[in-house]
Amino acid sequence: MTENSTDSANPFAYSDLVKEHFLNPKNFLMGDESKFAYDAKGIVGNPICGDQMLMFLKIKDDKIEDVKWKTYGCASAIASTSALSELAKGKTLDDALAISADDIAEYLGGLPKHKFHCSVLGHDALRAAIQSYRKKS
């Protein structure tokens, strides 16, 4: 598990990349989801922290062509899902499923230990979307 801790050089618990993905999330779906023509949708919630995640995928030739997402979540959930959306885009469905919470945390330069579970929420929504797509196929 990649963790990040605070010190005098970094008074915040988050890396600059986590802050960037939180303040400027990538592939975030603003507004009405009907305006994004998706092939798959996944929704999950985390009873521990109350976060909820929606993931929408455009899929072509077994590859994720585009990703959009929405969340009710904390900074870690937002940053982690933003990063995941960038990591998953262009990958085959199986390769996208292989992206782990550790991969996301490493990409972001670490997450505080007590927020690591937030990196799992986006992945669970991605998995739910892919499973729903495969059930339709």
- Residues known to be catalytic: 49, 118
Q: Are 82 and 67 in contact (CB under 8 A)?
A: no
36: left (phi over 0), alpha (psi -120 to 50) or beta: beta
Angle of the 16-23 helix axis to the 75-88 helix axis, nearest 10: 90
Q: Cα–Cα distances in Å, from 31 out to 74, 110, 116, 120?
A: 19, 30, 28, 24
